[in-house]
Amino acid sequence: MDPVRNSENMSAIDLAHHIHPFCDMKDMARHGAQIMARGEGIWIFDSQGNPYMDAFAGLWCVNIGYGRKEIGEAVMRQMNELPYYNTFFGTSTQPATLLAQKVTSYTQGLMSHVFFTSSGSEATDTWFRLARIYWKVLGQPSKKQVIARRNAYHGSTVAGASLGGMKHMHEQGDLPIEGIHHIGQPYWYADGGDLTPAEFGLKMARELEAKIDELGEENVAAFVGEPIQGAGGVIIPPDTYWPEIERICRARNILLIADEVVCGFGRLGSWFGHQHFGFKPDMASIAKGLSSGYLPIGGVLISEKVAAVLAEAGDINHGYTYSGHPVCATAALENLRIVEEEGLVERVRDDIGPYLAQALKTLEDHEVVGQVESVGLLGAVQLAKDKSTRQRFKDPDRAGRVVRGFCYDHQLIMRATADRMLISPALIISREEVDGLVQYIRHGLDHLREQNLD
């Protein structure tokens, strides 16, 4: 191997010069970075050639799997034709315009427009500003406050981290910024007590109504939620939750924003998560599965209702150098062509999603598993100290780390949020790979049981 590229050298270079996102700096100093070199399907190979089953599709994004040469070829053609031009001041490029048409076509007529960004975080900042512009144009400039949920994740920019409900993010940088408020998350297993999931879903949705009352309807611009909270622990809301949220937003005249960055583009077996739950947002942020992570691109889908008001706004003083980047838009178009041609959304809905659900359910007999839930290819295994009483481990973070660490050491990449093990594989995962995944997780659970944690 090229001596400069061998993994030990790379790790040392990385340690000397690279600060990583969401990374324990002390831990990093001890272990250095693991350098990943190649991917194929749902498998990723490190620079020593060791294979890892990636049950997390990178970061919930590589929906079509690794190693799809078609994307590289399409991108190369566009690179050679026109590597960059901006979409400011009324110019566009063919890929950006065609992608706008394509991406809105999946919304069942709900969203007429899209504003492009390079990431989900930028998408969050974009709808946050557009929501305020919307109410200003309508002559209600006091409607500025935005309500989000605890443990939500909407990105790492200042507005994104503020809207997200992660305490450990708020603590670094005096967040949230002004004008952002949080209500609870619909996490029945942890907080449902004696309520049925249906009762609990209504209870949590009605926290929105109480918050609007507290702030004054005339001051609230919008509510935002991920259809299923991803990084917060794959929190699948009871069926009663979203219809009640939608009813409240309509009755109290506030915009409903769906963060579709994880749920969009087939993960739940529908083009968008709001379609799965049957509600109609006014705007929706997208990223990740839009290009399967092959190149960075995101955006905000905008309903006809909102677009019609923005059309009266005059100048919209917001945008990114790379909004609608032609090469990234080309990667997204090619990705969506593959998703359509291979029927991946339908595959998740009718075939591999139900198969994963059934396979995961077999884990519910395990002593340290309290509940298993999934929609499409987004799933969670809830760990429990005593499943009969829904008692959790004393240190839920540690329990999750034990299982995640064991799996990683045995070459399965999955993630944990506290004591929930999260699963989000590429949409092309085979049945055999699902079987292997579930078997590996079971070994991880056995290992946790052997630790005898309190």
Binding interface with ligand PLP (CB under 6 A): 59, 119-121, 124, 153-155, 226, 230-231, 259, 261-262, 287, 298
Give, as one character, the DSSP assignment of residue 219: G
Nearest to 319 by CA among 74, 88, 20: 88
Nearer to ligand PLP, 301 or 369 (CB): 301
Nearer to ligand PLP, 192 or 230 (CB): 230
Give, as one character, the DSSP assignment of residue 153: -
- Give me the least distance between CB of 111 and ligand PLP, in Å please: 17
Q: Which residue is nearest to ligand PLP (CB)?
A: 120
Nearer to ligand PLP, 259 or 419 (CB): 259
Q: Count CB atoms within 10 A of the CB of residue 334.
A: 24
Nearer to ligand PLP, 329 or 359 (CB): 329
Evaluate whether 124 touches 160 at the Cβ level (below 8 Å): yes
- Give me the least distance between CB of 259 and ligand PLP, in Å please: 5
- Give me the least distance between CB of 214 and ligand PLP, in Å please: 26
Give the CA diameter of the chain.
65
Nearer to ligand PLP, 7 or 285 (CB): 285
Residue with tokens 């949230």, as numbered in its chain? 176
Q: Give the E-state strand segments of 376-419 in sequence order.
A: 378-383, 412-413, 415-417
- Give me the least distance between CB of 299 and ligand PLP, in Å please: 11
- Give me the least distance between CB of 118 and ligand PLP, in Å please: 8
Nearest to 259 by CA among 329, 164, 145: 164
Nearest to 120 by CA among 66, 180, 60: 60
Nearer to ligand PLP, 120 or 238 (CB): 120
- Give me the least distance between CB of 120 and ligand PLP, in Å please: 2
- Give me the least distance between CB of 260 and ligand PLP, in Å please: 8
Nearer to ligand PLP, 10 or 59 (CB): 59
- Give me the least distance between CB of 55 and ligand PLP, in Å please: 16
> Torsion angle of alpha carbons 79, 82, 87, 92, nearest 10°?
-120
Nearer to ligand PLP, 262 or 306 (CB): 262
Nearer to ligand PLP, 121 or 162 (CB): 121
Token couple for 330:
């080309």
- Give me the least distance between CB of 234 and ligand PLP, in Å please: 11
Q: How far is Cα 453 from Cα 155, in angstroms, rounded to an integer?
A: 33
Q: How far is Cα 134 from Cα 127, in angstroms, rounded to an integer?
A: 10
Nearer to ligand PLP, 226 or 282 (CB): 226
- Give me the least distance between CB of 17 and ligand PLP, in Å please: 22
- Give me the least distance between CB of 422 and ligand PLP, in Å please: 11
Nearer to ligand PLP, 169 or 262 (CB): 262
b/e code 391-414 from CB counts within 10 Å (16+ = b): ebbeebeebbebbbebbeeeebbb
CA 227 to mean position of chain CA atoms: 10
Angle ∠(110,111,113) on CA atoms, nearest 5: 160
